[in-house]
Structure 1
Amino acid sequence: MTETMRVRLAPTERAELEAAAEVAGLTVSEYVRRRVLGRKVVAPLALTDAQTLAELRRLGGLVKHLATIGQGNPDDLRAALTELREAAVRIAT
């Protein structure tokens, strides 16, 4: 069973809530519920972010392959893998 709660908001506050819910991919009710109850509100990755993340992972695989077959300077390959990994983490979070 669910219950309804009415809350008074200024028009600008309502617009702000609606915009934030849309960015998070949630209904306004679900967005407010999560925020009020201290639950996570995580916006889904934009398509371009998902594509960029996939490309970084692909490049990381290629760099790892080069290291495995002994091509390239090992220090440069390690540095490239580290930078790709850090970029992927920045995009994914």
Structure 2
Amino acid sequence: MSSDEKSSNGPGRPPKPPEERRTENHGLRLSPKEKKNLRRRAEQAGLSMSEYLRRSALGGEPVRSDAKKKAVRQLSAAGNALNRLVEAAREEKIGSVEGLEETLEAIREAIARL
């Protein structure tokens, strides 16, 4: 059985399909200052340097800044509160609250843009 056909007999992650395995390597020359800067950014993002560079180079978002993370948490909390109000209004536990569903949708869209 080839290494591509092996199945996992032990605990842990199942093997990736061959097309998803990272087997290629590309060297990158950096100055010590550039490397230090990249390492700092990767650490701030909670990523390895390889993953940080891969995401940056391939168009992914390498990090969410602390401000974005805080905004997402705050918007999520506001959205959850509005969702509870909408549900209470639907169940007629409170009077009609016009505009809550539209506001809730606006919050969801704002979170998605972050």
Q: Per the shorter chain, which TM-score range? A: 0.5 to 0.7
Matches within 5 A, 1:3-82: 3=25, 5-9=27-31, 11=33, 13-36=34-57, 38-43=58-63, 46=69, 48=70, 51-68=73-90, 69=92, 71-73=94-96, 77-82=97-102
Are 1:89 and 2:109 counterparts?
yes
Q: 1:23 to 1:87 in 2, by over 3 A?
A: farther
Runs of 4+ in structure 1 deviating by more than 4 angstroms, as ranges, are 48-51
Q: How much has 1:64 moved relative to structure 2?
A: 1.2
> What is the number of residues matched between the two proteins?
87
The alignment's TM-score, normalised by the length of structure 1, stands at 0.59
Q: When you count helix as a share of all residues, which structure comes out higher?
A: 1
CA contact 2:56–2:62 (8 Å) conserved in 1 = no
- In the alignment, structure 2 segments of 5+ residues that lack a partner are 1-22
Structure 2 CA distance for partners of 1:70 and 1:91, relative to 1, 3 Å = same
- The alignment yields a C-alpha RMSD, in angstroms, of 3.1
CA contact (8 A) 1:57 1:84 kept: yes
The structure showing larger relative contact order (alpha-carbon pairs under 8 Å, at least 6 residues apart) is: 1
Asked if the contact 2:38–2:49 (Cα under 8 Å) also holds between the matched residues in 1, the reply is: yes
Unaligned runs of 5+ in 1: none
State the TM-score, normalizing by the size of structure 2.
Answer: 0.51
Pick which of 62-71 and 22-31 moved more: 62-71
